[in-house]
Each structure stands twice: as structure tokens, then as C-alpha cells.
Amino acid sequence: MIAPLLALALGTFSIVAADPATGQIGVAVQSKFPAVGALVPAARAGVGGVATQALANEAWRAEALRLLAAGVPAEEVVKRLVAADPQAADRQIGLVDAKGDAAAYTGARCFDHASHVTGPGFSVQGNILAGRAVPEAMARAYQAARDAGKPLAERLLAALAAGQAAGGDRRGMESAALLVVKPGGGYGGSGDVWVDLRVDDHPQPIAELTRLYRDVHQFYFGETVRAVPLDAKVAREVRGALLRLGFLKAPAAPGGGAWDAASQQALEDFQGWENLEGRTRKDGTIDEVVLAHLRKVAARKR
């Protein structure tokens, strides 16, 4: 029969969570299915997040967010989706609203093991799992990372790793995805997508997803952890590097200030060239990550 085969193809485990303190909402998912990030997760800042899986009904994503935006409680949203869908017994969903209220549903015809765990601010769900230990491990890992003060994206990744360590999808691994939204989180402050990373086909998709987040996303788009003052000493070093690289056309005039408009523009041009414009600062400091990268690039020019 078509429905059971499709349900088998889309078996997965996921977590949906909201952090009302930061306004962030996210979804993380892994499956023995290609490009799972194109099918399962959806989220909207100020509204909520949703994961639809098993015999995934993609329409549930948009409808769930529409209902949440209209103020319908999370539990009621799930009830309405299930009641209106004749194939609901083959489906699974987890969702959370921006306040952290969570709800989930696991259809009776989802392939074993299938279940969900909800808690304050999150919902974990999965099917074709090694057992109940998978969602329980994910819930514990998420809460431990939350209690440790980790950012939402790191909590979600911790939950995926814990789920896999507990047995994960009985068929193995293939793809994973991480989606986090927040107000103004999009590129240049437009839109709300803060993190949107997908591993579509990989033997270790969770490890690769974690690498993309930590080594790529956070390098280019991470928030400044330490800002280095552009005092006279640092300014001379930065100007020298920018001159060597051709972004600054002339050295500062004798007796000039520690930092000037031409130097600032040259630094911003360098950051744009290196795709680090998201770390631009205009307060007389330079992001420590940018400074380290500038030193590395300039050293190669000697």
C-alpha cells in the first residue's frame, strides 16, 4: 500500500523548541531519508515552529503556523489538523508557539517505535526509532543544555546527538537540518531566519550539521563574543594589514587620530570581501574573529 511505504520513507526524529527570553524558535531533525530539511521543519518568529513527519503532510506546516499566528492554542492547533486529515493516523507532528506552549501527535499507524515527549518550551517526536529511549534522551539533553545556558541552536543539536546515541532511526542516518528564527535574524536584519542549515546526504549527518553550525555559520554570522578596541597599537596593525591587502590606499596622515573614516571604510570593504559583513562594528572596536582572520589573510600576502 502507498501510505505505509511513504510513512516508512519519511521516518525520522526531530525536536521543536522556543526560547521566549530571546525570541528564538527552532527545529532540528534527522532521518534516513534524503534532504529531510526540505520537508519536515518550519518556523516563524513571533509565531512558532512545527515539524511534520512520518507520512508527512507538508500542508500542516503552513496551516499550523497560520493557526498559531491567529492565536489558536498549540493543543487546539494539533486537534484541528488531525480532525481535518483522513490520513492523520499515518502522520506525526510536533509544534510549539512563541510563548513555549508545546503539543504533539503520533498517529496510531506510524511505524514502531513511534512516540513523542513534550515539556516546557519543546516537543520531541520520532518514528521508526530504536525505542522509547530515543525521544526521552533527546528531551533530557535539550533540558540539560537549556539549564546550562546554551543558545537554542546548541540545545537542538545536543538533542539530535543524544537521540542518535540512544539508537536513533532504526534504518540509519542520511540527512539532517537545523532551522532557527528570531526577529530581525535574517541577513542584514531583513526577515527572521537566523540559522538554516541542511545536510542532504551524508554518512554522519548530525556531526556534519554540527560542524556547519560551529565552524561555518558561527564564523560568518555569529554574534561578537569579544570586541577589541581600535586603540593606537591595534589601529596601526589593522591599517598595515589593510594597506598590504589593497583595501586601504594610503596610510594615516601624521598626527592623525587612532582610527579614521577611511580606515573604517577599508575595514568594512575587507569584511564584505571575506563575507564577514555580519560582524561589522562601528563603535571604534573590531570583532576578535575578524581581527584574527585579517591577520591570517595579511600574513599570506607577505
pLDDT-derived band of residue 9, with 50, 70 and 90 as boundaries?
very low
Percent of the chain with pLDDT over 70: 94
Alpha carbons 300 and 291: distance in angstroms, whole number: 15
pLDDT-derived band of residue 139, with 50, 70 and 90 as boundaries?
very high
The residue that leads in pLDDT, 188 or 243, is 243
Quick check: pTM over 0.75?
A: yes
The residue that leads in pLDDT, 256 or 43, is 43
Question: Would you give the end-to-end CA distance of the chain in angstroms?
Answer: 66
- CA distances (Å), origin 109, targets 89, 142, 241, 258, 262: 5, 28, 63, 69, 66
Alpha carbons 116 and 260: distance in angstroms, whole number: 57
Amino acid letter, residue 168 = G
Q: What is the pLDDT of residues 182-218, one digit of tens each?
A: 999 988 888 999 999 999 999 999 999 999 999 999 9
pLDDT-derived band of residue 253, with 50, 70 and 90 as boundaries?
low
> Would you list the domain boundaries of the chain?
2-221, 227-300
For domain 2-221, which architecture applies?
A: 4-Layer Sandwich (3.60)
Residue with cell 486537534: 79
Alpha carbons 189 and 230: distance in angstroms, whole number: 25
Conformation bin of residue 220: beta by default, left when phi > 0, alpha when psi is -120 to 50: alpha
- pLDDT at position 190: 87
Whether residue 54 is predicted with pLDDT greater than 50 in this model: the reply is: yes
The long-range contacts involving 211-217, CB below 8 angstroms and separated by at least 24 positions, are 213/153, 213/157, 213/178
Whether residue 158 is predicted with pLDDT greater than 90 in this model: the reply is: yes
Whether residue 240 is predicted with pLDDT greater than 80 in this model: the reply is: yes
DSSP state of 276: -
- pLDDT at position 157: 98
Q: What is the pLDDT of residues 212-236, one digit of tens each?
A: 999 999 999 998 999 999 999 999 9
Q: What is the pLDDT of residues 267-276, one digit of tens each?
A: 999 999 999 9
Burial of residue 297 (number of CB atoms within 10 Å: 0-12, 13-18, 19+): middle
pLDDT-derived band of residue 257, with 50, 70 and 90 as boundaries?
low
